[in-house]
């Protein structure tokens, strides 16, 4: 176990180093033109650009540029040259909204994904299964931002009703009830896509597992169908779902729910990145991308350790 | 002694006897492709949705014809200050704004509470009242929504199809090289996939999109100006390579151990020959299914990036930019965002259903899944 832990951690550190290189390449090497000008943003003066060039080492070799970038990223002194705000502070401000969105939506989509998947597998081929398949298909085929705009219009802005609050995030610490109430729509919208996808995957897995010999044995010895489903089929079928969930949940926590955050004005980390795109303000996008990737790598290591703890077969020899 | 079978009695020989009476027919060899086609042919639902997709493609292909002969305007032509005759009545294309009742979308007196101030209100759908002009209404710049919808479809479909083709092309090559050579090649390529998996797809797309939006891409002899639709196309194809490359590599890896590969190598086949003549045809069915399903995925990704401003750059129409444009006017002019949204859903659903049908036909036991 210790061996596995060490190997997994070393691997993760290597991936993180590669991630920082990719961010460096994306933002500084690949785009054409003067990187100083790009980092400086839209309304930069000539003096600003000269300062940035010197500060980031753009007149020096690339390894100096890389180390300067790393210094800025991890010392927490990265500033947006357009708004003069500290990037790390802004990201910290967005974290509660992003985490609230991810955790609530994650619970909803995991729960309903499993319930819908099990129901449609039990009813496979019947009318209810077909209806679920069609709905799931539409769910995965809908642009999440469009669904967000439309639900917000109909349920919050008065298209049908103004029952739900119209966007914005309320801190949990200031008013838990309002926090919940403001997040109901974003949670649901974000969850719809995943419910559609998970239920389809789970349905397929359950149907595959049902054909296994050990399930036939369980049936033959007269176990109740409910018990077979719970104890024998679901246990195996849920493993891929949990893997998927680990990856998707990490992505959403890391700011991947940028569309939902933007549409519902939640002012999370993703929306911070979105606002920076429209100002051609690169440092925040750089920071969000890099922190998200690092976060996901770390999160995946934790999930792997959790697995190894649960299932000894996953531990490599 | 064996009992003589009477005519009414069922014996084990009946089927063979019956067959003997029929015209002797040679057993035909059927290729896997023929068998797949036969399975697909029976799937009417898949065919219906293929037809829907073709209709969408054809409609978008004829966008210039519609623009010229029916609407009489281009996708980026502004008509802010013009009037149009709707059912014989002169109506401004974009009226000056005012206070709008959010419940009905109609003008309301300023004093009334709960009304929203809107800067300018474009004309709503005229349907057939204006001789083909502004059938679905106009946007805030007075541009014809129906024309932009068709041109936007061209952009979105172009990016969806070409990015999928490029993505699948590179994924196949990487998968073949990684699995065939193994060792360092495999190590490098799988680590590259691992690193890419660390980035959420949408964030990586945004990072590249916003970094390349200012000056374009100028490397390896490829020069792409900023604002070109090749930028989102290449970004999307790059971002999704690992999502296809990894499962394909897994497939090639198991094929690599099969006897026919060994036989081919022992006969002196070059690595290129083994990879492209021996191995590639064996993963062709997965590649085709991936290609179909990933077009749907890429159309969604393109609209998302364009919606956020990191994909197709204005004034070029795409379904994503149109939804972004219509977002602020959803209360008064819902069609501005409804029309492109419905277009996306119809296209993506039809591709997904056809892709699923194709998968069932090509390999009934396959577990090819495109991750979202």
Question: B352 and A137 in contact by Cβ < 8 A?
Answer: yes
- CA–CA min distance A10, chain B (Å): 13
pLDDT of residue A108: 92
Rounded to a whole number of angstroms, the distance from the CA of A286 to the nearest CA of chain B is 7
Question: Alpha helix (H) ranges present in A171-281?
Answer: 176-210, 213-220, 225-227, 234-251, 258-263, 269-278
Check if A27 contacts B (Cβ < 8 Å). Answer: yes
- The DSSP bridge partners found for residue B122 are B94
Which residues in chain A have Cβ-Cβ distances shorter than 8 Å to B371? 244
For A:206-265, CB contacts with B below 8 A are: 244, 247, 251, 254-256, 258-259, 262
CB burial of residue B26 (10 Å; 0-12, 13-18, 19+) = exposed
Name the packing angle between helices B145-181 and B319-326 (round to 10°): 130
Which tens digit of pLDDT belongs to each residue from A31-81? 666 677 777 766 667 777 777 777 777 667 777 777 777 777 777 777 777
Shortest Cα distance from A289 to chain B (angstroms)?
A: 6
Q: Which residues of chain A does B216 touch, with a Cβ-Cβ cutoff of 8 Å?
A: 31-32
Residue of A15, A31, A256 with shortest CB distance to B202: A256
Which tens digit of pLDDT belongs to each residue from A214-271?
888 888 898 888 888 888 888 878 877 887 888 888 888 877 788 888 888 888 888 8
Structure tokens at A63: 């390894």
Chains A and B form CB pairs within 8 A to the count of 165
| Residue A213, φ and ψ in degrees, nearest 5 | -65, -40
Tell me which chain B residue has its CA closest to the CA of residue A195.
B372
pTM: 0.83
How far is residue A133's CA from residue A121's CA, in Å, rounded to a whole number? 10
The yes/no answer to whether this complex scores an ipTM above 0.95 is no
Compute the nearest-CA separation of B328 from chain A (Å).
Answer: 10
State the Cα–Cα distance between residues B339 and B149, nearest whole angstrom. Answer: 7
- Min Cα distance B124 → chain A (Å) is 16
3-class state of residue A57 by DSSP: coil
> Tokens at residue B306, please?
């364009």
Q: Dihedral through CA B310, CA B314, CA B320, CA B326, nearest 10?
A: 120
pLDDT in tens, chain B (372 residues): 445 544 445 555 555 565 566 666 677 777 778 878 887 778 788 888 888 889 988 988 887 877 777 766 767 767 666 666 666 666 666 666 666 665 555 666 555 566 666 667 777 676 666 666 676 777 777 777 788 888 888 889 999 999 999 999 999 999 999 888 888 888 888 888 888 888 888 888 888 888 777 766 766 766 777 777 888 888 899 888 988 888 888 888 888 888 888 888 888 888 888 888 888 888 888 888 888 888 988 999 999 888 888 888 878 888 888 888 877 777 777 788 888 888 899 999 998 888 888 887 776 554 444 433
With contacts defined as CB-CB under 8 Å, which chain B residues touch A244? 371
A256 interaction partners in chain B (CB closer than 8 Å): 200-203
Tell me whether residues A256 and B203 touch, CB distance under 8 A: yes
Task: Report pLDDT for B353.
Answer: 86
- Segment A267-294 shows an average pLDDT of 81
Apex B260 CA angle, B258 and B262, nearest 5: 75
* DSSP assigned state of B29: P
Question: What does the mean pLDDT of chain A come to?
Answer: 80
Give residue-wise pLDDT tens across range A201-228. 888 888 888 888 888 888 889 888 888 8
């Amino acid at each position: 176990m210790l061996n596995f832990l060490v190997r997994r951690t070393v691997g993760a550190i290597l991936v993180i180093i590669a991630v920082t290189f990719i961010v460096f390449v994306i933002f500084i090497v690949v785009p054409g033109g003067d990187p100083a000008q790009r980092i400086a943003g839209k309304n930069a003066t000539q003096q600003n650009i000269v300062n940035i060039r010197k500060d980031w080492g753009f007149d020096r070799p690339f390894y100096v540029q890389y180390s300067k970038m790393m210094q800025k990223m991890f010392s927490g002194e990265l500033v947006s040259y357009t708004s003069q705000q500290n990037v790390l502070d802004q990201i910290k401000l967005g974290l509660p909204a992003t985490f609230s969105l991810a955790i609530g939506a994650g619970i909803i989509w995991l729960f309903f994904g499993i319930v819908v998947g099990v129901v449609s597998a039990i009813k496979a081929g019947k009318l209810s299964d077909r209806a679920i398949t069609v709905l799931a298909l539409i769910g995965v085929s809908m642009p999440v931002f469009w669904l967000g705009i439309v639900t917000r219009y109909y349920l919050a802005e008065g298209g049908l009703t103004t029952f739900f609050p119209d966007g914005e995030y309320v801190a949990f610490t200031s008013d838990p009830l309002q926090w919940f109430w403001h997040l109901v729509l974003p949670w649901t919208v974000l969850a719809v896509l995943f419910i559609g996808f998970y239920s389809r995957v789970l349905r397929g897995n359950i149907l595959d597992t049902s054909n296994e010999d050990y399930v036939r044995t369980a049936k033959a010895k007269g176990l109740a169908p409910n018990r077979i489903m719970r104890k024998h089929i679901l246990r195996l079928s849920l493993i891929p779902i949990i893997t998927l969930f680990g990856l998707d949940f990490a992505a959403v926590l890391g700011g991947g729910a940028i569309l939902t955050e933007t549409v519902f004005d939640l002012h999370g980390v993703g929306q911070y990145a979105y606002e920076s795109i429209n100002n051609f303000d690169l440092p925040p996008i750089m920071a969000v991308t890099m922190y998200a990737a690092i976060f996901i790598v770390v999160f995946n290591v934790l999930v792997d350790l959790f697995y190894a703890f649960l299932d000894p077969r996953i531990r490599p020899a | 002694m064996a009992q003589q079978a009477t005519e009414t009695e069922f014996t084990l020989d009946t089927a063979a006897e019956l067959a003997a009476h029929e015209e002797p027919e040679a057993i035909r060899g059927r290729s896997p492709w023929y068998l797949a086609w036969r399975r697909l042919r029976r799937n009417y639902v898949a065919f219906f949705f293929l037809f829907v997709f073709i209709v969408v493609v054809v409609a978008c292909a004829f966008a210039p014809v519609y623009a010229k002969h029916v609407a009489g305007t281009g996708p980026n032509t502004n008509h802010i200050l013009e009037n149009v005759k709707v059912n014989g009545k002169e109506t401004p294309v974009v009226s000056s704004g005012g206070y709008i009742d959010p419940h009905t979308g109609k003008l309301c007196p300023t004093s009334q509470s709960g009304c929203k101030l809107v800067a300018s209100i474009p004309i709503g759908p005229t349907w057939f009242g204006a001789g083909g002009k502004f059938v679905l209404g106009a946007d805030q710049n007075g541009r014809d929504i129906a024309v932009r919808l068709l041109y936007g479809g061209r952009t979105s479909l172009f990016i969806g199809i070409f990015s999928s083709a490029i993505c699948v092309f590179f994924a196949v090559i990487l998968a073949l090289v990684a699995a065939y050579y193994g060792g360092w090649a495999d190590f490098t390529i799988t680590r590259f996939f691992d690193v890419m998996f660390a980035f959420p797809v949408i964030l990586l797309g945004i990072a590249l999109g916003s970094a390349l939006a200012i000056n374009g891409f100028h490397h390896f002899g490829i020069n792409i100006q900023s604002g070109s639709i090749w930028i989102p196309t290449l970004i999307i194809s790059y971002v999704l390579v690992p999502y296809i490359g990894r499962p394909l590599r897994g497939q090639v890896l198991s094929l690599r151990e099969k006897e026919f590969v060994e036989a081919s190598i022992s006969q002196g086949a070059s690595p290129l020959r083994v990879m492209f003549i021996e191995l590639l045809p064996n993963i062709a069915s997965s590649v085709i299914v991936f290609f179909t399903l990933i077009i749907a995925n890429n159309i969604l990704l393109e609209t998302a990036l364009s919606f956020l401003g990191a994909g197709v750059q204005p004034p070029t129409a795409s379904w994503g930019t149109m939804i972004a444009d219509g977002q602020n006017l959803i209360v008064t002019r819902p069609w501005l965002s409804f029309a492109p949204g419905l277009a996306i859903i119809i296209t993506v659903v039809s591709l997904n259903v056809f892709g699923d049908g194709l998968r069932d036909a090509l390999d009934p036991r396959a577990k090819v899944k495109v991750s979202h």
